Amino acid sequence: MLKFTPLLLALLYGFVMWWFSALRLRQELDGKSTELADAKLKKLTDQMAGALDLERIKVHIYEVDPVNGLAAPDGRIFITRGFYDAYRSGRVTAEEMASVIAHELGHVALGHARRRMIDFSGQNALRTALILVLNRFIPGLGQMLAGLLTSMLAARLSRSDEYEADAYATALLIKAGIGAGPQKSLFGKLEELTKSRGSGQLAWLMSHPKTEERIKAIEANEAKWVR
């Protein structure tokens, strides 16, 4: 039993850290967001709500510069101020913004926030186990290598979630009568948008699939579902 104690402690630590992280995020979002009020976008979100048999879809603006969408652990959907500004300036269309909202709805519907909690705890346990093993063979470097390996695993899991949320969004956009075209056209703009608003390009590339691969997956789903 004693030999498993470090792993159990790591799992507990991971859960506690995730809980505090979620609490801090909620406080941050509560303090820096307001409900989105845009007639053109509301028309599109109403179409999606109808396709989902919902009364409406609430979207909030998160007052930060980076271009991004966010599905909070409590199920709320956020668009950053940087993204909304890109839409208001004409660099992003209303339909492309709707595709972002559909994508974030996918994260909520597919339970990705809950899955991340389990993954985060598991990754801490894995990191602890790797440190114990690697430090025996390469003292001093074990912790660094363990952190690198678990970060690569986290990025791979995140990319898997992105593909799933993309597929959900494609189906929803088709059902709502918006189509998958805006979803694909937005990907052609994202790299430039994220660079221009300083949204952490390296982190984005690590945790998100390549643009060409995402578009191919969307087109495959679109062809199947439209047929």
- Given this model, what pLDDT does residue 87 score? 96
Could you read off the pLDDT of 14-57 as tens digits, one per residue?
666 666 767 777 788 888 899 999 999 999 999 999 999 999 99
Domain ranges of the chain: 33-121+155-226
- Given this model, what pLDDT does residue 189 score? 86
Which residue is listed with tokens 């470097």?
A: 141
- Given this model, what pLDDT does residue 112 score? 79
Following DSSP, what letter does each residue of 92-154 receive, concatenated? S-HHHHHHHHHHHHHHHHTTHHHHHHHHHHHHHHHHHHHHHHHHHHSTTTHHHHHHHHHHHHH
Specify the pTM.
0.73
Q: Which residues pair with 44 in a beta bridge?
A: none
- Given this model, what pLDDT does residue 117 score? 55
- Given this model, what pLDDT does residue 194 score? 72
Residues of the chain with pLDDT under 70: 1-19, 21, 114-158, 195-209, 227
184 neighbors 190 (Cβ within 8 angstroms):
no
- Given this model, what pLDDT does residue 200 score? 46
